[in-house]
Copies of this chain bind each other. A is one copy, B any other.
């Protein structure tokens, strides 16, 4: 019998890739997408829904009875979480609890994927392993830590089936240029095409981050939802640190340009963590995951996407 997936935030960056992954991997999968947006252009069952609305969520879950809930929707901007800490809490926590409570009240066997963040760790001078303590440094990550705690409590107390991630930066074609890497690639593509003058605005590009191609991320999520033990938590990361400067260099090389790089002080964040690198050995060892996309491939695909857009 085919599996039924309920995907929240389906119109987002990861949601679309998850749908494409399922189309390929499990073509008989049934997909029900929900999102705050009015419409969805994918060929799936869709409902526009606010995840704060417990009653509407419950109606969907009660009638659809998903085997899996892939909970991708979130208020995930660190900057916004400083502007509206309470909203960040209430939105993230109520979206998650509304889903979990509905599964619980309807006595379903649904497995839930609760997505967390590398931000939960806070600052360490070593690769981030799942066993390290959590020291959240902004309201967004406090909300994520709370969501992880609550996930574990719902497993222990109510016997729910919940698997969790701490996801690091992901990149790929179609990502919104409000994020740093697509913003760089877009600027460079515009310089190469002559659409913009040769002046590239950046913040601190010597910081090191751990980037995973979004197509590898959805592969990890699929393996976790299918095979991870209940209540487990996995880093989703490449295990490799990359300087933002190196991504600019690789992109420029591919485009065959020499960009004029200008530091825009408004883009330099105070107290920015210099290096964030994850340890992905648990995900590799336990679930056989391995990233398929090299950084050069991801950048090349992002460039191609932006060129033809």
Residues of A within 8 A of B (CB): 82, 85-86, 89-90, 93-94, 97-98, 133, 136-139, 142-143, 145-146, 149-150, 153, 156-157
Contacts and interface: CB of A to CB of B under 8 A. Distances in A.
A43 to B, nearest CB: 34
A142 B146 contact: yes
B94 A86 contact: yes
B142 A153 contact: yes
A78 to B, nearest CB: 11
Given A89-B146, A145-B145, 16 more contacts: A86-B94, A86-B97, A89-B90, A89-B93, A133-B133, A136-B149, A137-B153, A137-B156, A139-B150, A139-B153, A142-B146, A142-B149, A142-B150, A143-B146, A145-B149, A146-B146
Most buried by B among A90, A93, A133, A145: A93
A89 B143 CA distance: 10
A90 B92 CA distance: 11
Number of copies: 2
Q: Which 10 A-B pairs have the closest CB atoms?
A: A142-B149, A86-B97, A146-B146, A89-B93, A86-B94, A142-B146, A133-B133, A90-B90, A136-B149, A85-B97
A82 B97 CA distance: 12
A138 to B, nearest CB: 7
A250 to B, nearest CB: 34
A94 B84 CA distance: 11
A157 B81 CA distance: 13
Contacts of A93: 86, 89-90
A13 B138 CA distance: 33
A119 to B, nearest CB: 12
A98 B87 CA distance: 12
A120 to B, nearest CB: 11
A89 B139 CA distance: 14
26 contacts: A82-B157, A85-B97, A85-B150, A86-B93, A86-B94, A86-B97, A86-B98, A89-B90, A89-B93, A89-B146, A90-B90, A90-B93, A90-B94, A133-B133, A136-B149, A137-B153, A137-B156, A138-B153, A139-B150, A142-B146, A142-B149, A142-B153, A143-B146, A145-B145, A145-B146, A145-B149
A98 B94 CA distance: 19
Nearest to A94: B86
Contacts of A142: 146, 149-150, 153
A82 B157 CA distance: 9
Contacts of A146: 89, 142-143, 145-146
